[in-house]
Amino acid sequence: MIPTLEWTQNGVRFLDQTRLPLEETYVLATSDQDVANIITTMVVRGAPAIGVSAAMGLALAAKSSTAPTAAEFAVAFSASCNLLAGTRPTAVNLFWAIDRMKRVFAQLQEQNASMAAVRARLESEARAMYDEDIAACRAMGAFGADLMPEQGTVLTHCNAGALATCGYGTALGVIRAAVERGKRIHVFADETRPFLQGARLTAWELMADGIPTTVLCDNMAASLMRQGKIHAVVVGADRIAANGDVANKIGTYGVAVLAREHGIPFYVAAPWSTIDPATATGDAIPIEERPAVEVTHHGGRQLTPHGVGIRNPAFDVTPARYVTGIITERGVLHAPYGESIAAGATQ
Ligand code: MRU
């Protein structure tokens, strides 16, 4: 299992994803501020991993606090929640995880708990989220494997793998489960400009598992689809609105439109914590704009002329009508998504 992040006695240990695939190095976070920096700088990324990291950041805040009781820790806890909530705006798992930790803390406050109890309880909640995330990925894999071809090629965009979760992955979990069942799948991994999550991370983790993988530049999928060389698409999500619109890595929308044009199924794999019933449609999903330097430079080398205008939205929204199915740990949702999401929410 790829150790994306891990709670240890000394702090939270993160595999530094900015250095993959050439260097496998780790960063230790001992405070909420460390975790916030690690999320902002993409040492850890991917919606489910960001959520669990934030929860662990809150557990670290409790660990290092000198407050004697929950009541005296409350102001600092609230500041930590705000700090971590300010790291990345699109992945709703971040806010879902912080809200879950807030509910646990509210109970501790009501009980007038000691800080020893606060520390133990926040740590156990964060670690439970970690375990639940892996279990959800495994369940998505079991449901999604049925939808993958017995033999063929599957395109994915960005990295929705073990590295984007606490292990196994969402979209890549579906592929892993299909391969474990004996399906013969060759993965096409979009390189995913500008941060290259596909070229660096998806390729790295699939190769580690011995799953045949070919990296494509983002502009190649259309031509391969026209030639009949891609049989299915499976991607992850950062936030799914109540109507089934999907925010995911920039470029996903283009892939979905191409898949529709070529009659190729387009699946989204995401845990229930990625579904945001409070956001009615994709138009209301906040899209993170990342620093221009990610586009202007590569490996420290400048690619664009000084002073040229740059856009760097990290995500786009795929309207629900392009989505063949949403693979969750509770089963596969189909259109109309407003209804299937509402029904699944009560499970
Ligand atoms: O900017 P990133 O690397 O955090 O974006 C990640 C994605 O877009 C993933 O597809 C998404 O978070 C799902 S991860 C299981």
Residues 103-140: tens digit of each pLDDT: 999 999 999 999 999 999 999 999 999 999 999 999 99
* Catalytic residue annotation: 238
Q: How many A from CA of 276 to the centre of ligand 1? A: 16
Count of CB atoms situated within 10 Å of the CB of 277: 12
Residue 346 banded pLDDT, cuts 50, 70, 90: confident
Mean pLDDT computed over 275-290: 98
pLDDT in tens, 15-68: 999 999 999 999 999 999 999 999 999 999 999 999 999 999 999 999 999 999
Q: How far is the CA of 236 from the centre of ligand 1 (A)?
A: 7
Q: How confident is the model at residue 2 (pLDDT cuts 50, 70, 90)?
A: confident
pLDDT band at 345 (very low <50, low <70, confident <90, very high): confident
Binned at pLDDT 50, 70 and 90, residue 1 comes out as confident
Atom of ligand 1 nearest to the CA of 157: 10
What is the whole-number distance in angstroms between the Cα of residue 190 and the centre of ligand 1?
Answer: 13
Ligand 1 within 6 A of 61 CB?
Answer: no
Instruction: Using the atom order of ligand 1, give the atom closest to the CA of residue 47.
Output: 12
* 161 Cβ below 6 A of ligand 1: no
Q: Across the chain, what does the average pLDDT equal? A: 97
pLDDT of 181 above 90: yes
For 26, the token pair is 């780790």
Instruction: Evaluate: CB of 256 within 6 angstroms of ligand 1.
Output: no
90 lines ligand 1 (CB under 6 A): no
Element (H, E) at 166: none
Residue-wise burial string across 113-142, b where 16 or more C-beta atoms lie within 10 A, e elsewhere: bebeebbbbbbebbbebbebbbebbbbbbb
pLDDT tens digits along 7-16 = 999 999 999 9
Q: Helix, strand, or coil here: 279?
A: coil
Cβ–ligand 1 distance for 213 under 6 Å, the answer no
**Ligand 1 contacts CB of residue 160 (under 6 A):** yes
What ligand 1 atom has the least distance to the C-alpha of 269?
15
**Which residues have CB under 8 Å from 276's CB, separation 6+?**
92, 239, 240, 241, 242, 285
**CA 203 to centroid of ligand 1, rounded, Å:** 15
Euclidean distance between CA atoms 56 and 73, whole angstroms: 16
| Per-residue confidence (pLDDT) for residue 55, from 0 to 100 | 98
Given ligand 1 and candidates 2, 45, 250, which is best to mutate, with the most ligand atoms within 8 Å of its CB?
45
